[in-house]
Structure formats: C-alpha cells, structure tokens
Amino acid sequence: MSDSVMIEVKKLNKSFGDLHVLKDIDMTVKESEVVCLIGASGSGKSTLLRCINFLEFKDNGDIIIGGERVEKETHDLNEVRGKVGMVFQHFNLFPHKNVLENVIEAPIHVKKVPKEQAIKEGRELLKKVGLSDKEKVFPAKLSGGQKQRVAIARALAMKPDIMLFDEPTSALDPELVGEVLETMKELAKEGMTMVVVTHEMGFAKEVADWVVYMNDGRIVEVGHPDELFNSPKEERTRSFLDSVL
Amino acid sequence: MDFWTKFIDSAPIFLKGMLLTFELTIISILIAIFIGLFFAFLKISNIKVFEWIADIYIFLVRGTPLVVQIFIFYFGLTSLHISDFMAVVLGLAFHNGAYIAEIFRGAIQSIDKGQMEAGRSLGMTVGLTMRRIILPQASRRALPSLGNQFIIALKDSSLASFIGMYELFNVATTQGSLKYDYMSYLLIVAVYYLILVLFFSIIVGLIEKRMARTN
C-alpha cells in the first residue's frame, strides 16, 4: 500500500442553519485505502462525504484532495469533482438516457473524449459491472441492484482517483445488496481509494482498511475493523454496535 | 341560403383570416417560449433581484386583461414604426410568456434534485447539467401544459380583431354585419376555430407520444 495521502480533512465544520452537523472533523485517507463511515442516521456521515465532493460547502476547516487544499473561491470544483466519483443512495441515473448513454455522457461532454472511444470504454465498464447485455435499456427497466451498478460504471467512466459511496445499498431490496457489494469489492481489490458510508457491517469488516464511527457530528473512534468491531475503545461505539449487530 | 352554402361561399375570405390567426399564434407562441424560459430561469436563479423581476413581470401580465395589454402594445409599438402585425404578436408573446414561465418553472422544479447532483458529481457544470439532463426531462413534463397554453393562445388571438387585424373573428363579425346575419357567420367561425384546435391537439399528441417512446 502506497503512503501517498489522497484525502485529508482538517478541523472541518459544517452547519445547516442552527444545526451543527460536522464538528472539528479530522480524517486522512491514503491511496488504495477503503474507509467505511458508520454511525446512526443524522450523525453527519453523508454530509462529510458531500463536503468532500463539494456538493455541500464547509463552514471552515481544510479539505485537501491529492495534496492540494481545495477552496471553492480559487479552484475549479468541476475539475475536482471529475477526479472524485460519487455513488448515491438513490442511484440518480438519467432516466431519459439508456444505460450506455448514462455512462458516456460525462466523458464526452466534460472531458471531450471522442465518442467512439467513450463508447468503447463505456462497454468495458459495463462488462466489468456485469451489465453488457443492458446497454440499450433505459433505467426504468432495471432492478435497483442493476441501477446501482450502472451508477458505479458511470462514475468510473470519468476515471476518478477516489470513489465516494453514500449508502449505496440502503435503497435496495435485501436480495440485491450482494451484487452491488461484490462490484465494490472488485473495485477495492483493484486498488481504488474508496470512502463508503454504509450500514453493511459485514462489508465494512471484510473490505475496510479503517472503520470510522461517527456520532452527533463528531468522529468518536477510528480503528481497524477487527479492533473496532471486536473490542471498541469507546462506550458509545460499543452501544451503537450492540444496537446494529 | 343554407348554412353549408354560406360556409362554402365565404371560405376564401375565412381561409385568409385563418392563415392570419395561424401566423399570429405560431409566431407569438415561439417568442413566448423564449420569454418563458428566460423568466423561468430568473425565478429559479436564487438571486433575489432576478426573482423580483420575474415576479413583477408575471404580476403585470396576470393582473391586467389581455385586451388592455394588446392595446398598450399596439399604440406603444406602432408609434415606434413597428407594424400592426408585429405589435400584436409581441403583445400576445408578452402575455403568454408569463404563463409559459410558470409552466417551465414548475416542470424544472419537479425534477428530482438528485439529477443536478449526479451531473455535478460527474464534473458537469450547472449550465451543462441544465441543458443535457434537466431541461430534456422538464420539457417532456411541461408538454401537456404547453399544449394547453398553445390552444389558449390560439383562441386569445381573436382579441387582435379589436385593433383591426383581419383574423378569423374579425372576418366573422364583418361578414355578419355586411349580410345582416351574425349568427350564421359566428357559427361558421366557431367551426374554423374547432378545426385549428383539433389540428394543434393532434400535433401536440403526436409529439407527446414520440417523447414517451424514447423513455
């Protein structure tokens, strides 16, 4: 595992009106690491992820992506977002475009990749997520698991350095969770740097290099999955794990 | 003379009126779509001044009768050497633009905000996401209401007769007074309007069907 730092968050604070959702968050993610964020809903996990992709703007603190401190005033956030892929709980596929068109949209219109090449790369990505036979199908005709795999392929099409997953399996029927987690495991094996907000403790145990437990806008505990799940140091971590396991 | 004889005898002059009604409607609605899109964007811009400008425009249009607007445009613009036809077209466009702005605004805001976020997360700009992702979906949703507004515009164009445009309704009342037979010519003009409305309804229906097929 390389030591180069991909994401560094320092003293990050974020409020929505009177609600202080992120409090002095510090976090470091190195290249090829998989970090899982766990915690009750409302604990700030998703907001943290959205701040890293600048879908929400921090109040103060630093967000350093690939060694560069990113500020909305001085940086082209579209360029930064192109390097940081995001997968959403509700897929957010483009319903008026078929599967292949969903995947090639951003490479063609943002990166100006020639159409032929974008299609070729798009097909490879669809093969990778096991949906080669669906390229002409519209999202409405897909199962939830298939939609989420298309969403993963769509994010990968921008060749991001980092992938963020915001509860990627929470909207899925139980029997469809496995196929999405399998795809994510593949990605982890290939060395993708990943930050995953999840309620799938099994996935976190198996795949994560680090697990981060958040509560009430703060990071309570960070640890290797073995440590954190089997012998948590903090009382709050223990009671959360007791309630979900 | 029975109704159909009168209908056929008056056809040449009514067809001319119909052509003018058709032109007034098509040109004014096309301009109104641009005006509507523009003010819809002002309304969703999240910039207070722009929202106020759009609100004032919509208030002015909704708060005054169309016939007053047409007269104001007519006397205002013809004094600037703009033709009667263009003055009426711009009056109708100004009027319909406000309703179309509200139709577009509603359609754009009805698109799930996850669509904008997905586009942004892929590195697309707000403008590109709007053009490639949001607007194609919103126009599909706006189409039934737009078609409805189109038909309203067609019928409202009869108010151009007040400033002497020789469109369908004006033809009917003129013929009625010449022949001392208002009722027959009003019934005849009703048939022409029904045909035009039917024609536009079919066109809108076809476009809706075509759009539904690609989804």
Q: Are B189 and B13 in contact (CB under 8 A)?
A: no
Identify the CA nearest to A108 among candidates B113, B116, B132: B132
What confidence score (pLDDT) does residue A131 get? Answer: 94
User: What are the structure tokens assigned to B167, written together?
Assistant: 């469109």
Count the neighbouring beta carbons within 10 Å of the beta carbon of residue B160.
28
Q: List chain A residues with CB under 8 Å of B140.
A: 96
Is residue A173 within 8 A of residue A144, CB to CB? The reply is yes
pLDDT for B213: 65
Chain A residues within 8 A of B121 when measuring between CB atoms: 53, 55, 81, 84-86, 88, 155
- Give average pLDDT by consecutive 10-residue segment, chain B, 215 residues: 88 93 95 96 94 96 95 91 92 96 96 95 94 94 93 93 90 92 94 94 89 67
The identity of residue B114, as a single letter, is G
Distance, in Å, from the CA atom of B129 to the CA atom of A38, rounded to the nearest integer, reads 31
Angle at A165 between CA A159 and CA A168, to 5 degrees: 120
> Cα dist. B44→A70, A239, B136 in Å?
28, 45, 17
- What is the per-residue pLDDT for A74? 86
What tokens does A82 get?
A: 């192109």
The CB-based long-range contact list for B40-48 (8 Å cut-off, 24+ gap) reads B40/B100, B40/B101, B40/B102, B40/B104, B40/B105, B40/B108, B43/B101, B43/B105, B44/B105, B44/B108, B44/B109
- Residue A141 near residue A97, CB atoms below 8 Å: no
Mind listing the pLDDT tens digit for each residue in B84-116?
999 999 999 999 999 999 999 999 999 999 999
Q: Using CB atoms, which residue from B115, B128, B136 is nearest to A109? A: B128
Listed residue (A85, A90, A123, A89) closest to A106, CA to CA:
A85
pLDDT at A215: 93
Report yes or no: A92 at the B interface, CB cutoff 8 Å: yes
pLDDT value at residue A2: 53
At B211 the pLDDT is 79
Q: Which residues have C-beta within 8 Å of that of residue B4, sequence separation ≥ 6?
A: none
Distance from CA of B58 to the nearest CA of A (A): 31
pLDDT number for residue B215: 54
pLDDT on residue A245: 76
- pLDDT values of chain A reduced to their tens digit, one per residue, 245 residues: 457 899 999 999 999 999 999 999 999 999 999 999 999 988 999 999 999 999 999 999 999 998 889 988 888 898 889 899 999 999 999 999 999 999 999 999 999 999 999 999 999 999 999 999 999 999 999 999 999 999 999 999 999 999 999 999 999 999 999 999 999 999 999 999 999 999 999 999 999 999 999 999 999 999 999 999 999 999 999 999 998 87
- B141 near A CB under 8 A: no
Residue B214's pLDDT is 61
> At A129, which amino acid appears?
V
A30 burial via Cβ count (<10 Å: 0-12, 13-18, 19+): middle
Q: What is the H or E stretch that residue B14 is in?
A: helix B11-43
